[in-house]
């Protein structure tokens, strides 16, 4: 392929208030891909769900009639179709981008769940949009999603107020770093977009800049950037170089090293031992999590696509960098 966008359309099946649906559409905008959006909730039950083997959203229906799920592998597939606009670079820089995207997908996403379901104002706002009318408080309390939300928060470690406050500080600290970064570069990791920008935009568009809480009005540059990105990308610019990348990247790597690695290590051990829940210290407090298969699958995807393709010299360089950064545990063992 020459990097130009194919003319056939993709169809995204998902919802406007879904983090990963909006991550995928942000990426398609950066690719310059032609696509339509078909509304779909997570409870849909049809042939698309059977073909993708999942009830989760989003799904993407490709021009050759494939139905795919899971945004990170979808983006890696699309990188091959839009090579001049790929969102995961090759080489050691691709490892850095993959790690930052990983922690945003598998750790920071829990903050979106907390904001939405621990704030009744948010839950009422979102579920009323889905119903096409203003729900009453009584209807809210009877809604199945309103009961699912707190369970999801318990599973991802934000059940108690101290962890809710810590998660909010973490997210707003990330936005502080992004606000500063966007004063010197066009995107989070340089002057061209990456998969990192797609997931950040997904969170803003589906959750934190769409729901009543939190108030992000002080983040003027971040909100301007989110609007600018609706027009896609002009194809110009380069990512900052490995290993230093940008101050925003360093902020996210510190978060990975400080909190996410501890979680992913304990999650892997719990799965290996057949335990359904585990406790670790998060932000200075013992916190309970549900042991989940997907973070391990995601680490496997990261290794397969970002580490295994490296040449021997690149692997030596990346392993030395991971060790220096305290991030070796991000690589799942084969």
Task: Please report which confidence band the pLDDT of residue 54 belongs to, taking 50, 70 and 90 as the band edges.
Answer: confident
Beta bridge partners of 190: 187, 239
Residues 48 and 100 in one domain: no
7-16, 20-29, 130-139: range with highest mean pLDDT: 20-29
pLDDT at residue 4 in the model: 46
Question: 43 vs 155, which has greater pLDDT?
Answer: 155
- 269 part of a folded domain: yes
Question: In the structure encoding, which two tokens stand for residue 210, read together?
Answer: 């769409």
Task: Please report which confidence band the pLDDT of residue 1 belongs to, taking 50, 70 and 90 as the band edges.
Answer: very low
Residues 200 and 152 in one domain: yes
Number of domains in the chain: 2
pLDDT (average), residues 79-90 = 98
pLDDT at residue 6 in the model: 47
pLDDT at residue 134 in the model: 96
Q: What are the pLDDT digits (tens) for 151-192?
A: 999 999 999 999 999 999 999 999 999 999 999 999 999 999
Which of 56, 85, 114 corresponds to the end of one domain? 85
Q: Is the pLDDT of residue 263 over 50?
A: yes
Please report the beta strands in the chain, taking only residues with DSSP state E, as ranges in sequence order: 10-14, 35-39, 59-61, 67-69, 277-282, 285-290
pLDDT at residue 45 in the model: 65
- 300 part of a folded domain: yes
Residues 80 and 157 in one domain: no
Which of 40, 56, 85 corresponds to the end of one domain? 85
- 3 part of a folded domain: no
Q: Which of 4, 9, 79 is nearest to 37 (CA)?
A: 9
* Rounded Cα–Cα distance for residues 137 and 278 (Å): 34
256 lies in which domain range?
91-330
Find the distance separating the first CA and the last CA of the chain, reported in whole Å. Answer: 32
Rounded to the nearest integer, the mean pLDDT of the chain is: 94
Rg (CA), the chain: 19
Exposed/middle/buried for 224, CB within 10 Å: 0-12, 13-18, 19+?
Answer: exposed
- 251 part of a folded domain: yes
């Amino acid at each position: 392929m020459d990097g130009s966008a194919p003319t056939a359309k993709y169809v995204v099946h998902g919802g406007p208030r879904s983090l990963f649906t909006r991550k995928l559409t942000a990426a398609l905008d950066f690719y310059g891909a032609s696509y339509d959006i078909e509304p779909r909730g997570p409870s849909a039950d049809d042939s698309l769900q059977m073909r993708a083997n999942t009830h989760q959203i989003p799904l993407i229906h490709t021009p050759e009639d494939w139905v795919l799920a899971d945004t990170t592998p979808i983006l890696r597939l699309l990188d091959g179709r839009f090579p001049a606009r790929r969102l995961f670079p090759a080489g050691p820089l691709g490892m850095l981008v993959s790690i930052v995207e990983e922690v945003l997908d598998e750790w920071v996403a829990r903050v979106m769940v907390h904001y939405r379901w621990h704030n009744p104002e948010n839950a009422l706002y979102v579920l009323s949009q889905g119903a096409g009318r203003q729900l009453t408080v009584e209807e809210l309390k009877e809604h199945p999603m309103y009961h699912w939300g707190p369970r999801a928060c318990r599973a991802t470690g934000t059940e108690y107020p101290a962890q809710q406050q810590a998660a909010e500080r973490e997210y707003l600290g990330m936005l502080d770093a992004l606000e500063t970064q966007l004063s010197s570069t066009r995107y989070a990791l340089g002057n061209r977009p990456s998969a990192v920008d797609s997931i950040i935009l997904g969170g803003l568009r589906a959750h934190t800049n769409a729901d009543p809480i939190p108030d992000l009005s002080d983040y003027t540059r971040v909100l301007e950037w989110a609007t600018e990105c609706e027009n896609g990308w002009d194809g110009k610019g380069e990512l900052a170089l490995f290993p230093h990348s940008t101050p925003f990247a360093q902020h996210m790597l510190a978060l990975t090293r400080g909190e996410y690695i501890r979680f992913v290590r304990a999650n892997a051990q719990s799965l290996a031992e057949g335990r359904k829940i585990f406790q670790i210290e998060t932000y200075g407090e013992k916190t309970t999590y549900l042991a989940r298969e997907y973070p391990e699958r995601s680490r496997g995807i990261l290794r397969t696509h970002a580490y295994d393709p490296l040449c021997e010299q690149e692997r030596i360089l990346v392993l030395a960098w991971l060790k220096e950064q305290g991030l070796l545990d991000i690589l799942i063992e084969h």
